[in-house]
């Protein structure tokens, strides 16, 4: 049963990674509201949308909500949604360190099973930022805390004793790479690229690389 579930979890993890971290340049951010669209390759072609709000405080803090999904014949059967907060913890001249924490809910369905997962993500960005551009190194960990498995009738026909239910914990993966950005007017373009690795650094990923491009539009006046 453990082996079977590991296989199902890897099937779940592959198309629903998401990695929709906001491309924010703190040096150009003056507006409180942000909307973002993005797309990229993460074990398939993935698209995402999101909204962010910068708190009216001296510390750079942004709350975000985003939604990502892999393209396919049925668009909304697989998805990843996330609520997160990120803050610039270190600011020294043009050097910057940002920390981010997120709560995640995602779903994946195929012919074998439907998986619904609650998870968390913690990540850090560190690098050089100017009002027009930035270059950051990123490192993070995505943990699937609890996953509910609803097995299909097809799978139950092969194994009548298989049980639906919750599994805790169910796995996680690291991601690390680079994020580059260019800012103009009220837009921030960003490009992210890097590598994925299972938490044990041994389990193979379907595609251990990610590449994402997106644009963030800033608007409104800070109170």
Q: For the chain, give the mean pLDDT.
A: 86
Q: Find the domain containing 160 and state its range.
A: 2-219
Residue linked to tokens 């270190």:
90
Average pLDDT of span 165-177: 87
The CATH code of the domain that includes 177 is: 2.40.128
pLDDT at residue 76, as a whole number: 57
Q: Can you give the pLDDT at residue 222?
A: 74
pLDDT of residue 43: 62
Please tell me the pTM assigned to this model.
0.84
Query: Given this model, what pLDDT does residue 18 score?
Result: 46
Domain count, the chain: 1
Q: What is the pLDDT of residue 153?
A: 87
pLDDT over threshold 70, residue 112: yes
Q: What is the pLDDT of residues 54-82, one digit of tens each?
A: 999 999 999 999 998 877 655 556 888 99
The average pLDDT across 130-156 equals: 92
Buried b (16+ CB within 10 A) or exposed e, 18-55: bbbbbbbbbbbbeebebebebebebbbebbbebebebe
């Amino acid at each position: 049963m453990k082996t079977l579930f590991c296989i199902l979890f890897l099937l779940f993890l592959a198309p629903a990674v998401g990695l929709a971290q906001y491309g924010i340049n703190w040096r150009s951010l003056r507006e409180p509201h942000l909307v973002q669209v993005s797309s990229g390759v993460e074990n398939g072609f993935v698209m995402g949308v999101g909204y962010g709000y910068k708190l009216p405080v001296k510390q750079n803090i942004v709350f975000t909500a985003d939604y990502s999904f892999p393209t396919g014949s049925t668009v909304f059967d697989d998805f990843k949604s996330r609520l997160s907060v990120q803050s610039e913890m270190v600011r020294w001249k043009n050097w910057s360190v940002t920390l981010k924490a997120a709560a995640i809910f995602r779903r994946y369905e195929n012919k074998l099973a439907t998986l619904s997962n609650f998870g968390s993500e913690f990540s850090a960005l560190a690098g050089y930022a100017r009002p027009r551009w930035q270059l950051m190194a990123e490192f993070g960990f995505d943990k699937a805390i609890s996953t509910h498995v609803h097995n299909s009738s097809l799978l139950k026909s092969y194994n009548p004793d298989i049980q639906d239910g919750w599994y805790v914990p169910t796995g996680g993966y690291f991601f690390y790479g680079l994020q580059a950005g260019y800012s103009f007017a009220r837009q921030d373009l960003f490009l992210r690229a890097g590598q994925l690795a299972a938490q044990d650094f041994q389990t193979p990923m379907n595609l251990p690389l990610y590449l994402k491009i997106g644009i963030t539009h800033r608007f409104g006046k800070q109170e």
